[in-house]
Chain A
């Protein structure tokens, strides 16, 4: 470091400086901008001089005077709940099963993570073939006719569940993959020692393997939370996040692109999303960096 020539210092500065400027200009400053805009009212038209500072009024309105917000919060929590209680544990469970030397495990593994490769938008279309009221497979298999037919994507009382099935379909594969890598990193000697001692497979897993995987468990949980907060593409493809499919991410866009573009109001929702995310980003980075120092 001390031996660096002036030229080398300039080169180093540029190598870190240019990428950092990129991220600063396109990610961090806009994020800050969103937070600032959330305290203002602006219809997005006209110059910046037409921005009016309104303090916390947008936040007040969101909470007291904006019914879709409650539904969105409930849906995001539902999303988190399903991922946390069903999809993530299932992904972990599949990883544990596939971590053993099984015949044809490549097939099982590939089948589970195939959906991860497809875009969420495409997943929305593919599942439409199951859910469609008139032409969908589910109604046909259930033998529902005429008015009995269920509009899985359209009925606001159930469509969130239909979407969650499709979202979980992708999430399970993703978690399985992450967890499989975590399991591979576990020292096999630990397992063998436990088995020599006569521990059952379940016992070996819970008492020996699982505790050594604390870091990956945290990573997986944080990813689960962040993915739930980011929920957007799937509901946007189905019905632009309306009529039962409200989620925070879609409300932001709906408020900006709607007829009355409510920049301040949309920014306030986005800010809430940022604040919740940051809490988990801190947990995530804390875990990663602690591992780093080891």
Chain B
């Protein structure tokens, strides 16, 4: 189910496995590692494999690295020497981007949208999943389809009526409109993942609780939910990235630019006639930092969250 991270890097002696050059292990001969004993031959095929992987990985990292590199460079310097050059390093772009893009305000907006949306979606979908996974009744499968299919519909398909409806209720151009939409739209994915997980928990747990006289709510709150920490952590991580990264709903349901989340702040940095790409790079880096932190710190949760949905373990 969850990809236990880095199986290849365990069993190293002393040196961190990352330092070692592929193909030629940096340890004295005669002390083979566990992986080495399995099948480690420096064949041309293996070298080609590592070369291919390295080239691909660097190619994939390049656009991000290039943006990052240029975010530290002075506009005047690159204007004279061209972008493909070295030098002109400065931190000013970050300061300027933050101020010109009004990033403090936008980060607060993102926080106001993301935190309640993720908490509510996890709360509601865990309840729905609990009912679907732990009690069997005739409507189990129809309900599961009802929830899951909702998440797969094209977003444009619900846009117009939703837009009208929010205007009519009077919540158009508010945080609430965006939060509610995220909750409803993400519910399907979370319900599906959580109900799959809850089905794997032993039925005896509930039966024992029943005999002891525990009600439905106590079973959910005190028995099942505490056992669901792994999928909740994975989904929480994933939802934070998705809601934070959203661009579509915010643009659709907010006419006041000041209320929009951080993803739209970048547009403020894009000039109408000329664009300072160094400034834009710094802005992109600032916007990307929270997701990158989530990605590196909670990598395991991120990966297992993504794969839980597609491949029930």
Identify the A interface with B (CB < 8 A): 1, 3-5, 7-8, 11-12, 15-16, 18-20, 22-23, 25-31, 33-34, 37, 44, 94, 97-98, 101-108, 110-122, 125-130, 132, 135-137, 140-141, 169, 172-174, 177-178, 180-182, 184-185, 215-216, 219-220, 223, 226, 229-230, 232-233, 236-237, 248-249, 252-253, 256, 263, 266-267, 270-271, 273-274, 277-278, 280-281, 284-285, 288-289, 291-292
Q: Which residues of B contact A126 (CB under 8 A)?
A: 63-64, 66-67, 284
Q: Which residues of B contact A113 (CB under 8 A)?
A: 303
Say yes or no: A114 contacts B248, CB within 8 Å. no
Chain B interface size, as a band, is 35 or more
Contact of A94 among B56, B84, B288, B299 (CB under 8 A): B56
The answer to whether residues A177 and B306 also contact, given A16-B128, A31-B158, A106-B6 and a CB cut-off of 8 A, is yes
Interface residues of B in 118-138 (CB under 8 A from A): 124-125, 127-128, 130-132, 135-137
User: How distant is the Cα of A107 from the Cα of B54 in the complex, in angstroms?
Assistant: 9
Say yes or no: A34 contacts B146, CB within 8 Å. no
What 5 pairs between A and B have smallest CB-CB spacing?
A: A33-B161, A26-B184, A119-B245, A181-B307, A111-B57
Residues of B contacting A: mostly:
helix
Q: Within the complex, what minimum Cβ distance (angstroms) separates B229 from chain A?
A: 19
Given contacts A1-B135, A16-B128, 19 further A-B contacts (CB under 8 A): A15-B127, A15-B128, A16-B132, A19-B125, A26-B181, A27-B188, A29-B161, A112-B57, A114-B64, A118-B64, A122-B266, A178-B310, A181-B1, A182-B311, A223-B310, A266-B160, A273-B156, A277-B152, A278-B149
Say yes or no for B76: interface residue by CB 8 A criterion.
Answer: no
Q: Which residues of B contact A263 (CB under 8 A)?
A: 160
Say yes or no: B67 contacts A34, CB within 8 Å. no
Q: Within the complex, what minimum Cβ distance (angstroms) separates B205 from chain A?
A: 16
Nearest CB in chain A to that of B8: its residue: A101
Give 1 or 0 for each of B238-255: 1 = CB within 8 Å of chain A CB: 000100111110001000
Say yes or no for B183: interface residue by CB 8 A criterion.
Answer: yes
Contact of A233 among B131, B210, B247, B307 (CB under 8 A): B247
Can you name 5 A-B pairs with beta carbons within 8 Å? A22-B180, A103-B9, A169-B60, A180-B3, A253-B156
Say yes or no: A273 contacts B3, CB within 8 Å. no
Contact of B8 among A7, A37, A104, A292 (CB under 8 A): A104
User: How distant is the Cα of A29 from the Cα of B162 in the complex, in angstroms?
Assistant: 9
Q: Which residues of A contact B58 (CB under 8 A)?
A: 111
Say yes or no: B136 contacts A1, CB within 8 Å. yes
Residue in B241, B244, B303 with the greatest tally of chain A CB atoms within 10 Å: B303
Interface residues of B in 162-210 (CB under 8 A from A): 162-165, 180-181, 183-185, 187-188, 191, 210
Contact of A137 among B54, B84, B158, B292 (CB under 8 A): B84
The answer to whether residues A110 and B299 also contact, given A104-B18, A119-B263 and a CB cut-off of 8 A, is yes
User: How distant is the Cα of A273 from the Cα of B157 in the complex, in angstroms?
Assistant: 7
